[in-house]
Structure 1
Amino acid sequence: MHVLGTNWCKLRCTKETLGEMKGRRRDGRACRWRVRGRRAEKNDIQALEGRLLRKGLAALFGADVKVLPDGSRLFQFTSQEEEERESKTGNLDTWIHFVGVGGTGLSALARIAHNQGHIVTGSDREESPNTKALRKEGMEINVGHSALHLMRRCEDDAKKTALPTTLVMSSAVPSNNVEVVAAEVLGIQIFKRSEWLSRITDSQNLVAVAGTHGKTTTSAMIAVALRESGTDVTAVIGSGVQQFPRGQGAVLGSSNCFVLEADEYDGAFLGLKPLISVITNVEWDHVDLFPTEASTRTTFRAFAAKTVKGGVLVLCGDDAGSKSLKDVFGEDAQRRDTYLKAEHAVVTYGLGVENDWQATALTPNPEGGTDFVVVHNAVPVARVNLPQPGLHNVLNALASVCVCSILGACEATAGDTQCKAQNLASFADVHEQELRMAASKAAFALSSFKGIKRRFEQIGRIPNVVTVFDDYAHHPTEVRATLQAARQRFDKQPIWVVFQPHTYTRLVAMMDDFAPAFSAADRVIVTDVYSARELEDGERTARALADAIVGPPVSYMSSLGQVVERLAWELPAEQKAQGVDSNSVEDIILIAMGAGDIYKLGPELIKKISIDGAV
């Protein structure tokens, strides 16, 4: 869609509207439409209106003006005007525009592009921590969607309008988004997030970490461990990593190794070609896309099969869904005595002795985490002192040691041309000494792993009243895992949970699994459903969950503001009731849990208690 001047009108186009943008003039000649809207530059409006008055609408355009729902007007270009327009516009080769940039996945890709030297702009429907952070890092980020965001003046020619070369859209952005529609008409290249990931990782040694749960932490651990071990990897993680620059979710490295959190939503990971594919677990989720658990497994099987020749498929052998994928490359790839000559290798990790990589001798440590020994093919190779609590984090760390050991051994012995191994895993097995050294380096790096944002992340503390944590858990399995981790670290302290369900479809489909998932908590507050991409009244559903939860006392509060007001006086009052000496009272552990905007609760609650002077 074409405009005059430095500003665009705000387009709200349906598919039917798009169909009208290319047509024919009354004289039968092909034509295009140009747009002028309420926000067009004043001088351009005056110039255009002057031309209309002088020449007359019908004589100039040969057709009536078409008015869009928001008041924008479409005019046809004459062939002369079309030539004039093309001489005044051009693509800016280094400009990439991201639509839906506030999401964790797309914000990380925007950072990579920005760090590579591209001009990066973006937009999202609402402000978020990611949009604010990107703006602080020097990117132009807009709230709301408008075709205005796809145009700027050329720096070397003020009379010429520049357009992005590329538009990258989140999988959550609909195809009739105004910026996507405008890009289609203007001939700007459009990539879905999955397509863009495939494009930027195609020439890299890709480590892709997938799974229903744990993929964010595992991919972050792998990236941190490799970087600490001397491999300058590029990484795109779906959450902020404390040990990345500015705690962001992406880092640009100088090596050809790329660590990626691979998302199954909308089949986003199916365009990848991993050298090492990791699948932490496979369980039914995203019920709006996967109607059954079988359909989920089918999608993960397709991802596993994308592992390139010579690559390795790493599976959690303790998880039934992940383990069911062992046969994806046939029998020879599964057995150590036969995968030496196979094009792929499949290795497993877990707590069970049947796994190729095993975590054993688990012991709680003073940091509230877990110490354990890594065993590879029945031989101890490293000891990990993990600061993070929870059995799920032991498995995440074990997968990381496995991947880093294989990569490290292969890198250290890259000049060995005598080895006849056909895949990375068998090559690493042959070079046992280098593998053990790489495992030790990874284990040492994980002993100082600082965690990632929104994964049992401590937000703040009011001494002797409350310590607030933020956690992304939004699936019954994740809720149980987070509460197990909390109990490991805070065995004798009361644990309260504020849970914000994420999407109606997930909650309705998994209601029976959610009901017992909170049994390790001492109190639960349920808020309204965070609808995300869905449109439905969720109050009845959230109330139903509050009624269904078994074990701890449960209450329902519709809004986060309501929760903050209630807890701001109840938490101090609860602690004062415990004894005369308030300094001897241990904090209540409060976990704000969910994948929506529940992250806002912790900071607001700490601020409210402090301002009210309740302590």
Structure 2
Amino acid sequence: MELSKINRVFFVGIGGIGMSALARYFAKRGQVVCGYDKTRTKLTETLEQEGILITYLDEASSLPCAFLDNHDDTLVVYTPAIPKDSKILNHFINKSFALKKRSEVLGIISKGMFCIAVAGTHGKTTTSSIVAHILKDTGYDCTAFLGGITSNYNSNVLFGKNNVVVVEADEYDRSFLTLHPDVAVVTSMDADHLDIYGDKSHLEESFRLFAGQLKAEGVLYAHEGLPLDKSISYAASSTATAKAENLRVEGSKFVFDYTDGTQSIKDISLMLPGKHNVENTTVAIAIALQLGIDANKVKQAVANFKGVKRRFEYIVNNGNQIYIDDYAHHPEELRACFDAVRQLYPDKKLTVIFQPHLFTRTRDFADEFAKVLSTADELMLLEIYPARELPLEGINAQFLLDKITLADKKICGKDFVVQHVKDTKPELILTVGAGDIDTIIEPLKNTLNNA
């Protein structure tokens, strides 16, 4: 399907972060854009305010007239997270509409463009956002499809006037194999999505296939230690090719030097905390310098990058209390997040509110989750957010809690969390998870600000 021939687009699962970026892209192009999602959220409300019609009823009768019958100029985009028995999805299947996964559409859009694709089981949203920001801020420019809302632009899609596109390449369901990048990044290959891959070896093979999708003259960057051939390594390590050195904390910022053996940048200031974010920034700098962007402009762009919503986002920081929210939902992400908190606030009691995401992920990584969560000072554990999954017998919050060695631990609901925070006034709070834990951010913020 050619972009120029598409006049109408319907998104089944429009509220997803990646889907909403594509919806905004097509709306900006002037196409008629509509969509369905199960629940109304802040993101879907924003899309509606931007003129996109959304239904929350999974019935074909709720569709706009333009999407009741098939037309050659109509595209339907769906996410694999949508249940196969969705009535709206099956309406489009039965009527023989042109159906594409989000990843396939990204492949169509990026075809013929200079594509920078960032993949990894974690770190890809922040890394792709830093890359896109550097290209924008320095005047190099780009279009970008991101997996989070960037704080600098308050959006998950950026529009450029050149032929460069930055995309977050998703490994779920092997989606990233629709891309053929000029520059590829692999941030991590930790075991995840084992409900799809079965075991880590199949996941790693998928990443190798992604690396093999590079164009003939393409460049592959991989975090040091990853088993990918013909890649340029990066890390906060003396043995990587592109490396961060002299890493230190100054005030609330991380400061480091960059070198790749050819170019160096001293005293780079980064608002995002943690060694993992320094490494994410390191590869973004390497790409920018590869594109010929001036080193001083790169340094300035990094310094004013404000981060991504729900990625170590300060919600409250009033001197008495600090509240940080993060999307971490994998043991390695939790570990990196906890390490960053401890580096910044080593003397404060850490209260963690965690919502596990998916029954299968909780089952597969229960011991790893327990080990990391046991390093908190106080833990409030919410029930597992099921997302696309049905319950698994014996896999619940209690199953995880029993493995956690921390003494001050409890399972609780969201209302209890808010009341407990109001009563105890913790000095350092961290909410983590990828489900609907974000619904307690505002109540917690109001509670702390009114304390």
Q: How far does residue 176 in structure 1 lie from its aligned partner after superposition?
A: 3.8
In 2: Cα distance, 1:461 partner to 1:380 partner: 34
Match of 1:115 in 2: 28
| Residue 565 of structure 1 pairs with residue 430 of structure 2 | no
Matches within 5 A, 1:205-220: 205-220=114-129
In structure 2, what is the Cα distance between the partners aligned to 1:248 and 1:262?
Answer: 18
Shift, 1:460, TM fit: 3.3
**Partner residue, 1:277:** 184
Matched AA of 1:200: I
Partner of 2:441: 602
Q: Of 152, 172, 175, which aligns to 2:81?
A: 172
Counterpart for residue 144 of structure 1: 57
Letter in 2 for 1:563: V
Amino acid aligned to 2:31: H
1:508-587 alignment, distance < 5 Å: 508-536=363-391, 541-551=396-406, 553-557=408-412, 559-571=413-425
After superposition, where does 1:122-271 map in structure 2 within 5 Å? Answer: 122-152=35-65, 165-244=74-153, 247-271=154-178
**Residue 313 of structure 1: aligned partner:** 220
Larger radius of gyration: 1
Cross-structure match for 1:402: 286
- Aligned match of 1:475: 330
SS in 2 for 1:474: coil
Structure 2 SS opposite 1:530:
coil
In structure 1, give the amino acid aligned to 2:197: F
Q: Quote the Cα distance in structure 2 between the aligned partners of 1:298 and 1:361.
A: 35
State the one-letter code of the partner of 1:297.
Answer: E
Cα distance, 1:567 vs structure 2: 2.4
CA contact (8 A) 1:369 1:390 kept: no
Aligned-residue Cα RMSD (Å) equals 2.2
**Partner residue, 1:440:** 296
Structure 1 CA distance for aligned equivalents of residues 297 and 407 of structure 2? 43
The structural deviation recorded for 1:283 is: 0.6
What's the counterpart of residue 258 of structure 2? 374
Superposition TM-score, scaled by structure 1 size: 0.69
Offset of residue 516 of structure 1: 1.5
CA distance in 2, matches of 1:605, 1:401: 36
Choose which of 323, 326, 347 in structure 1 pairs with 2:232.
347
Q: Tell me if the contact between 2:353 and 2:381 (Cα under 8 Å) persists in the aligned partners.
A: yes
**What per-residue deviation string (whole Å, max 9, x for no partner) do you get for residues 540-576 of structure 1?**
521122221234621111x2123223322232xxxxx
- Distance, in Å, in 1 between the alignment partners of 2:227 and 2:411 is 39
Tell me, yes or no, if the aligned pair for 2:324 and 2:429 is still in contact at 8 Å.
yes
Match for 1:293 among 200, 214, 219?
A: 200
Q: Deviations over 1:230-286 (max 9, x none)?
A: 122100111100112xx0111111111000111000011001000001001111001
Question: Match of 1:61?
Answer: none
SS of 1:403's partner is helix
The whole-number CA distance in structure 2 between the counterparts of 1:538 and 1:378 is: 56
Equivalence for 1:35: none
Is the deviation greater in 284-293 or in 217-226?
Answer: 284-293
Q: Distance in 2 between matches of 1:369 and 1:552?
A: 32
Aligned length: 446
Equivalent-residue separation in structure 2 for 1:166 and 1:390 (angstroms): 42
Q: Is the 8 A contact 1:468 1:602 kept in 2?
A: no
Instruction: Work out the CA distance in 2 between the residues paired with 1:347 and 1:137.
Output: 41
Higher RCO by CA contacts (8 Å cutoff, separation 6 or greater): 2
Mapped partners of 2:329, 2:202: distance in 1:
20
Query: Following the alignment from structure 1 to structure 2, what is the Cα–Cα distance between the partners of residues 161 and 513?
Result: 49
CA apart distance, 1:444: 1.7
Task: Describe the SS at the equivalent of 2:357.
Answer: coil
**CA distance 1:483–1:180, change in 2 (3 Å):** same
1:452 aligns with 2:308: yes
What SS is found at the alignment partner of 2:232? strand
TM-score (normalised: structure 2): 0.93
**Aligned CA distance change for structure 1 residues 357 and 95 (closer, same or farther; 3 Å):** same
Contact 2:383-2:397 at 8 Å conserved across structures: yes
Task: Find the residue that maps to 1:288 and give its secondary structure.
Answer: helix
2:25 match: secondary structure: helix
Indicate the SS of the match to 2:294.
Answer: helix
Alignment partners' CA distance in 2, 1:254 and 1:568? 49
Which of 300-309 and 135-144 deviates more? 135-144
- Code of the aligned partner of 1:370: F
One-letter amino acid of the counterpart of residue 524, structure 1:
L
SS of match in other structure, 1:515: helix
1:591 equivalent among 423, 430, 433? 430
Residue 260 of structure 1 aligns to a residue whose secondary structure is strand
1:602–1:174 distance in 2 versus 1, CA, 3 Å? closer
**Distance in 2 between residues matched to 1:167 and 1:153, nearest whole Å:** 12
